Each structure stands twice: as C-alpha cells, then as structure tokens.
C-alpha cells in the first residue's frame, strides 16, 4: 500500500499484512489521535464491511426492541403519555450513555417548552426513576433546548457553562450541574414537536459524532410515538365539543397501530381484537350512562320552578344558608346563573338537563357531595355579584359551572390515599388525581345528548371556557391551593396584583 511506503514501523521479525486505522475525534470534530490495529501474515485481513454490518445489526436489534417495548406500552397504557415518555427517555440515555435525560414538549401557541417528568438520577431494579412534579415552562427563546426547538438543528455542547446559550434555570430548579449536552429536535410533519436533551456523558468528556448519528436515527421514532400521543390528546379535546367518539377512536387506534404496521408487520387480527374490545367498552358505557343521566320528569320539573320571592334577597348574601332548602337547590342554581349571566346565556332545557345529571353524579359521601357543590357555587355567585365588571361573560359562566362540578363523582378519599393503594384513578392521573377526574366527568356530561350548554359558543370560545373550568377545578387540589394562596397574598400585600395580567387572573 503506497500509504505505508516504509511499513508500519512496528515490524519485529514478522511482517504485518493488514492494518485498520481509526481516527479519534472529539465531540466538536477535532482530531486528537489515531488508533492503528495490525494483523500478521497468515491471518484473515480486516473487513470494514463486516464490522459495519455487525455494528449496524446490533443497533437495529436494539432499536427494534425499543419499538416493540414502546408499542406494548401504548397498548397497555393508551391514556397515559407518561409511560411512553419514560420509555423514550430510558432508551435515549442508554443509547448515548448519558447520566441524565430530559424531554421537553413544544407549546407552539405560547412559544414555550414544558415538562413535568424529570430524571432524578436514581435507579430501581436497574431502571432509572423519573419523577412527576409540577410542570415547568420556559420561553422557546431561552437555552440550548430553546434554540434546538427554534432551528430544528442538533446541538452538541462539550462545555455547557461556557456556552452563552445555556439556560441555567433547570439546573437551579433541580439542583443538578450540567457539564455537557447533546440536544436533538423531534420533528413531525416539518414541525418541531419536542426536544430530547442528553446531559453529561458518563464514559468520556463529551458526546461524540457517533452519539449524534445514533441519536438522529432514534429521534425519527420518537417523533412517530409523540405524534400518536399528541393526536390522542388533540382528538380527545375535539371529542369534548363534538362527541364523535367512533371517528376519534378509529383515528387514535389506527395511529397507534401504525407503529406496529410500519416496523413489525403486525396483522389485522390485532386490529379486529381491539375493535371488539372497543365495542364491549361502548356497550358498557351505554349501560352506565343510563343510570347517570337524569330522567325527563326531573329536568322538566326544574324548568317550571320559580324561586320564592322571600329568598331572592337572602340569596345575595355571603352567609346565606342553603341547608334548609334541599328540594330547591337545582332551582337556586338556575336562578344564580340567570342573575349572574342573563336569562338567555344558556338554553333553559339544556341547562336543566345538565344540572340534574350533575346532581345524579354526586355520590352520597359525608362532605364532597351535592350540597357542598351548590354551597360553593353560591359562594362564587356572591363573589361575582359583588364584583360587577371584573369578570368576563365567559369567566362568569365557566366559574359557576366549575363550582357546581368541582367534586363530581368524589369517592370520599384523598389523592394520597388513592395513590398509596394503587387505585385505577391514580394510574390514570398521576397528579391532582381526583381533580382531573372531576373535570373529566364534567366534560363527559357536557358530551351527553341535550346537555351541552356551551353548544352556541364558537370553537375558540368553547376552548376558552373549558380551560377556565379545568383550571378552576384543578386549583381545588390542596397540594396546589396553599402555594397559590401564598403567592396571591404576597401580590396583594405588595400591591403588585394586576388583573389585566392574564397569569394573575
């Protein structure tokens, strides 16, 4: 070989037949050395193609295992995106041998990155532990992850604190020190939907070009999984308004199955089995709904109700006691809605159907019951009546409905109790368990035929009022309440409270 005119310089009585030379390159592309491997005469020569094929097959096998695992996770936990994200993050860490991993999703509407699932650097039974915490958000204009989300380009940072783009907020929040970063966009249909960030290479001073290449291949499959998960959430939101369950479930199931169809040649037998299970589910839900919807006699009786004149003045007071008027509670709520929002704010028939079905879905528990719901709704009514002009029409409607529904289907147990005893609701909702269930029940009742009191709103108004209801119900979680109250008190005492600021509202 003309590239070795004087041999290798290492011959010692035996001739070297074949040489394999490998460059040693840093994460930023600097060549720092050469590794030379030799074989003597009489031995089979090195074959780069065999080496590359073996390496590629090993990586592909590992990737196929990951895809099967992710697909299984989807079928086992169709409603829980957290399990999917954990699988993605665990595999990504192992792929590039990173100490920590973070996955941020992109909120294009608010131009923010957000995450509520964090790698805490601990292991259980050989697997990393990810902790579900209060969601953190930061501007897409900040940090390494922000730049990757904006540009869609891979960033390999050997020294994080020496890079001016590095956002130290996450380190301050988690108490962790970042040394080096490999950050990759997750792109779906030409748009960045997430950012995976590998932190601190374990074996080596920084992430390599090989890590980058492997990570790029992996990001394609992340995009597919996240696209399906986000589609599930999006279609669920559409279901809130349109109630087209059959179409939506078809879309979700087919998109989830696409993972198998594309990568494992899955057969249609599984699809038919899932469709059969779906039919069983729909029949079960139909039977349950029969027992949780008010009768015609109940809502028709409410339509003809008139509040006694003697109560019209008393009901305006904060200290009004609804206790003695149990048979009037639904009528009292109709009166409060009309006084606060106007008699034409809702179709009366739909409002009466909605109220009586909400009543039917409160359980007979000592505290979080129908009486408590009407009491809280009355308190909100008094607040609204004493603060005319402070709340928008949508806020008035949303807050009154949220109060009436804020403890729907409460079982009388705390969130910590449900989580401790592995209740199915705790598996469905890892944070604010009962509060998320209350909101879900509210939306379920709105979806019932003749119950959607917001059907006359535009699409954007409908989304806004649902978000008002969701935030109000979630805020009743005591784990969030005390922190929110402290923050509100501080703003009020310092005079910084500004109700023109949407976050303060």
- How many residues would you count in the chain? 505
- Is 372 flagged in the annotation as binding? yes
Q: What is the dihedral of CA 477, 480, 482, 488, to 10 degrees?
A: -120
- Tell me how far apart the alpha carbons of residues 117 and 431 are, in angstroms, rounded to a whole number: 11
Report how far residue 476's alpha carbon sits from residue 471's, in angstroms, rounded to the nearest whole number.
Answer: 9
> Among the options 368, 437, 438, 451, which is catalytic?
368
Dihedral pair phi/psi, residue 195, rounded to 5°: -135, 125
Q: How far apart are CA 338 and CA 341, in angstroms?
A: 5
The H-or-E segment that residue 36 falls in is strand 31-40
Q: Which residue has the tokens 């109940």?
A: 298
**Exposed/middle/buried for residue 134 (C-beta within 10 Å: 0-12, 13-18, 19+):** exposed
Beta-strand relationship, 127-139 and 112-124: antiparallel
Chain-centroid distance of CA 32 in Å reads 44
**Rounded Cα gap, residues 76 and 89, in angstroms:** 18
By DSSP bridging, strand 112-124 and strand 31-40 are unpaired
Does 393 show up as a binding residue in the annotation? no
Task: Say whether 409 counts as a known binding-site residue.
Answer: no
* Catalytic (active site) residue 108: no
- The Cα–Cα gap between 21 and 314 comes to 91
Residues in Cβ contact with 289 at an 8 Å cutoff, skipping those fewer than 6 apart: 448
Beta bridge partners of 103: 196
Around 493, how many Cα atoms within 13 Å sit in the side-chain half-sphere?
6
Residue 291 belongs to what H/E stretch? helix 268-292
Binding-site members for Zn(2+) are 372, 406-407
Binding-site members are 372, 406-407
Q: Which residues are catalytic?
A: 368
């Amino acid at each position: 070989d003309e590239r070795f005119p004087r041999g290798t310089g290492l011959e010692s009585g035996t001739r070297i037949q074949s040489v394999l030379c490998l460059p040693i390159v840093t994460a930023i592309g600097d060549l720092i050395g050469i590794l030379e491997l030799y074989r003597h005469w009489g031995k089979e020569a090195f074959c780069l193609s065999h080496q590359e094929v073996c390496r590629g097959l090993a990586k592909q096998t590992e990737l196929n295992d990951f895809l099967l695992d992710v697909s299984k996770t989807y079928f086992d936990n169709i409603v829980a995106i957290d399990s999917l994200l954990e699988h993605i993050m665990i595999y990504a860490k192992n792929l590039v041998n990173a100490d920590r991993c973070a996955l941020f999703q992109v909120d294009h509407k608010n131009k923010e990155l957000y995450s509520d699932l964090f790698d805490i650097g601990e292991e259980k039974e050989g697997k990393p532990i990810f902790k579900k915490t209060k969601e953190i958000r930061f501007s897409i204009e900040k940090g390494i992850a922000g730049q990757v989300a904006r540009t869609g380009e891979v960033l390999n940072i050997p020294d994080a604190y020496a890079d001016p783009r590095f956002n130290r907020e996450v380190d301050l929040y988690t108490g962790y020190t970042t040394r080096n970063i490999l950050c990759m966009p997750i792109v779906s249909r030409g748009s960045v939907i997430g950012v995976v960030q590998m932190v601190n290479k374990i074996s080596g001073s920084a992430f390599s070009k090989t890590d980058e290449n492997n990570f790029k291949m992996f990001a394609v499959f992340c995009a597919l999984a996240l696209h399906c998960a986000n589609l599930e959430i999006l279609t669920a939101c559409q279901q809130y308004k349109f109630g087209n369950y059959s179409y939506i479930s078809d879309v979700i199931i087919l998109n989830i199955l696409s993972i198998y169809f594309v990568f494992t040649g899955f057969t249609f037998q599984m699809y038919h089995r899932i469709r059969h299970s779906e039919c069983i589910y729909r029949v079960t839900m139909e039977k349950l709904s029969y027992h949780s919807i008010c009768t015609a006699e109940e809502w028709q009786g409410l339509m003809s109700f008139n509040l006694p004149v003697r109560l019209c003045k008393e009901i305006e007071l904060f200290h009004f006691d609804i206790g003695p008027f149990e048979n009037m509670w639904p009528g009292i709520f109709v009166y409060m809605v009309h006084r606060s929002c106007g008699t034409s704010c809702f179709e009366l028939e739909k409002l009466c159907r909605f109220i009586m079905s909400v009543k039917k879905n409160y359980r007979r528990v000592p505290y979080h019951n129908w009486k408590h719901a009407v009491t809280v709704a009355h308190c909100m009514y008094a607040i609204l009546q004493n603060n005319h002009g402070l709340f928008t029409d949508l806020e008035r409607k949303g807050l009154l409905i949220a109060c009436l529904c804020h403890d729907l289907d409460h079982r009388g147990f705390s969130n910590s109790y449900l989580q401790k005893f592995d209740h199915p609701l705790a598996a469905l909702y890892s944070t604010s368990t009962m509060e998320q269930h209350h909101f879900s029940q509210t939306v379920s009742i709105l979806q019932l035929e003749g119950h959607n009191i917001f059907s006359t709103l535009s699409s954007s108004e409908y989304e806004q009022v649902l978000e008002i209801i969701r935030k109000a119900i979630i805020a009743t979680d005591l784990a969030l309440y005390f922190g929110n109250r402290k923050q509100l008190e501080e703003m009020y005492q310092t005079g910084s409270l500004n109700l023109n600021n949407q976050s303060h509202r």
